[in-house]
Amino acid sequence: MRIWRTTRLAAGCLVAMLAFFAMQQGAQAQDPQQIERGAEAWANNCARCHNMRPVADISPEGWFVVVQHMRVRAGLPGALADDIRAFLTGGN
């Protein structure tokens, strides 16, 4: 069963990788610079796939949902997505 050997190998590598990066992650507390970081993260990451949508295109509630969706789709770290969300919802 070559596929299961490959699967186990891939799963092992993935778990090791996740554990390595997880140890380096820390909760990023909210701070006054969050909106500034969010603006930078918005500019750096959204355009990797598509044009950046103006903030006024979507309501703050809409941005809350859209950022959650894009966090999953683009594989963004949660803290970075929170910074973008703070920027797009005006600090809410």
Partner 1 sequence: MNKQAATFACAVLALGGILAVPAAHAESPDTEAMLKMIQDLQQELAASKTQQQQTSEKLEALKSQLEENTASVKKVSQETKQVRKDTEDVQRQVVANNVTLASDPPPNSPAGLTVMPFPNALFHMGGYATANYRATTGDEDRAGKINSFLGAQFNPVFHFTYKDFLLAEAELEFEVGDDGETEVDLEYASIDWLATNWLTFVAGSFLSPVGFWQQNLHPTWINKLPDPPAGWGHHGIAPLNDLGVMARGGFGKVGHPLLNYGVYVGNGPQLEFEDGNLAHLGQGSFGLDDNNDKAVGGRIGIVPIPYLEIGGSFEVAQVQGQRNVGPAEDVSGPVTDGQYTLWGVDAGYTMDPWNIRGEYIHAELDSFWSQAHVEDGEPVHTMLIPANEWSAWYAQVAYRLSKLNNPILQNVEFVGRYGQVRASGFEHFVEHAGPEDETTIGLNYWFSSSAVFKSAVSWKDFTAEDNIDATVYRAQFAYGF
Residues lying near partner 1 in the complex (CB under 8 A) are found at: 2-3, 6-7, 10-11, 14, 17-18, 21-22, 24-25, 27-28, 30, 37, 40-41, 43-45, 47-54, 57-58, 60-62, 64-66, 68-69, 71-80, 82-83, 85, 89, 92
Q: Which residues contact 48 (CB under 8 A, 6 or more apart)?
A: 74
Q: CA 84 to CA 41: how far, in whole Å?
A: 6
How far apart are CB 32 and partner 1 at their closest, in Å?
Answer: 14
How far apart are CB 89 and partner 1 at their closest, in Å?
Answer: 7
How far apart are CB 77 and partner 1 at their closest, in Å?
Answer: 5
**Cα–Cα distances in Å, from 48 out to 18, 23, 43, 52?**
24, 27, 9, 9
